[in-house]
Amino acid sequence: MVAVLRLGATEQGITEILAVAEHVASIAAAAEGLRLRSDAPRPATGPATELVDWTRPAPVEAESVLAAIAQWTRDMLRMDHVPAFWRTLALLPRLLEAVWRKHRLVLGEDELEADLKAAVALAVAMNAHSAYWTGYFDQLGRVSYGFDDATVVEIAGAVIHYKAFNTISHGMMLDAPHTEIAAADFPPDTPSRSE
């Protein structure tokens, strides 16, 4: 967090990153738990692994949310099918609506730009070992934000670095060197490392 503060993010920006991280970790756990096959950019093929039949017709109460998701999917992912994750949640329409609203809220542009949030989401999906959401956020980044192979590898490099750093720090039972820190400790005119 100190590095983010030094780079000029405010407490709101840090909160937005944490919201993306928490949301993606949660949906990654659900997709893996439901054993959903990756369907971005194309529908899954091969033997079914899913624990529930998401292909059956969704309840009427889910239709309007699924229609909004279908439009967003066409616009942002350039896919002609509603991803299996959303079709699965449609079996419980209130859950679908709640998770979709949260998805749009935490990934939408606010203080931080949407492409940065997509990069954070991809990194969290990679770290969570979620083939489903790694494929989804890779598609989003490439189609909507211009991610190329080098960008995706750079994100993977950040995952490698921080996963190793955190594993070593945890294994050595190191205490954080900064326990009493706030954004106010780094005013906007504080030079960043690149200056």
Give the chain's mean pLDDT. 88
Mean pLDDT, residues 67-80 taken together: 98
Higher pLDDT, 75 or 180: 75
DSSP 173: T
Instruction: Give dist(CA 89, CA 121) in Å, integer.
Output: 20
Q: Is the pLDDT of residue 158 over 80?
A: yes
**Band (175; pLDDT cuts 50, 70, 90):** confident
Q: Is the Cα dihedral 10, 15, 16, 22 positive or negative?
A: positive
Q: Over range 139-162, report the average pLDDT.
A: 94
Domain boundaries, the chain: 2-38+54-185
Question: Cis peptide leading into 41, omega within 30 of 0?
Answer: yes
Distance CA 77, CA 141 (A): 9
Q: Can you read off the two tokens belonging to residue 156?
A: 């993977």
**CATH 1.20.1290.10, applies to 2-38+54-185:** yes
Q: Please state the rounded mean pLDDT for residues 56-61.
A: 95
Per DSSP, 35 falls in state T
Q: How do residues 87-114 score in pLDDT, each as one tens digit? A: 999 999 999 999 999 999 999 999 999 9
pLDDT band at 182 (very low <50, low <70, confident <90, very high): low
State the pLDDT at residue 144. Answer: 97
